[in-house]
Structure 1
Amino acid sequence: MIRKENSLSQVDLLTHQALIIIFHLHLLPETPIMNHLHPNIEAAIKHQVELLNTGRVLEAFDLFFSDHGEMYENDNLFGHGKIECRKRQEPYINSAKEILGQITDVKIIPLAQICIFRNQSSFIDQKDKEIQINGLHWQQWENGKIIEECYFHSDKMDKIIASGILDNPEKLKENS
């Protein structure tokens, strides 16, 4: 009789462990904030910001921009797809002798897979002149990649910031 009770306990334990494994293998990766490369969208975005802050812009782009992503500049299509967007950005980035990254006001909405941040970086051009950047990036992520990036600057950026976008990044798509 004791042996039978132990067998049942072992069966119950094995069943419980099997259910946990099934949950982790099958259900967890399908949740909106999980993916196979970056199990935590917040960690992925923080890694992107770290790369940008250390001047590794193209590395961040290559790692996180979707093959089919779209980029907008002040609501105008800048490029469609990773190849086109990278090709359009390379001349600006490669003209810099040095990039001094300064990403601020980072806000991440994990369940919506949205992030927003200010880009107040600067770069040193080929004539040793420092150029200041003042922009706002809004990104929609999916499966660990940026599928849409909206970059705003000048009056458009000021208007969007005044509307409260830094506190509520979801508002960008609500108002579009």
Structure 2
Amino acid sequence: MSHPPIEIHPLGPERLADFLAFFEGPAFADNPRWRSCYCQFLYVDHTRVHWPSRTGNENRAAACARIDAGTMRGLLAYRDGHVVGWCNAAPRALLDAFADEPDPDAARLGQITCFVVAPAQRRTGVATALLDAACAELRRQGMTLAEAAPKPDIGGDAENHYGPMSMFLAAGFTVHRPGEYGSVLVRKALG
């Protein structure tokens, strides 16, 4: 079956309404318990913020403020003018959740942390297109390495928001080291 082409655009203030419509619409149709995140989990320092206490309204407001300030990064995938996917990809320095995890490559490391694809658009190339665009965008932002943390043992699509291991390996990522909570850290040089 043929699908309309995918267009990828970096997140910015001019795309805030599209981001919100996606997160408040089809993004979590099959996983509503994650609807309140607004992809803020890695943007907060968990030694200072008690994440389980955060509300959807707090996360929405934080996402809006970060998008407006240019301190939240990522990409939106569109088909026929509608958002069908999201990828959170940012320089590690912007992600406060990594503050207590020193890394000698931190200054040049881009983190690809989340993929959210509308259920009806899964397995149609959206995540792969987002991954390719994320690597290009991180390189444009001066990063020379990209890192992700897929969980190879995730069964369902809704829970596989880190992206499938096979997608990263096919894109030239290699295993860097074991991660936490069942993840595997993979890296790719963006040279």
Does the pair score TM above 0.5? no
TM-score (norm 2): 0.31
TM-score (norm 1): 0.33
* Structure possessing the higher radius of gyration over alpha carbons: 1
- Greater helix share, 1 or 2? 1
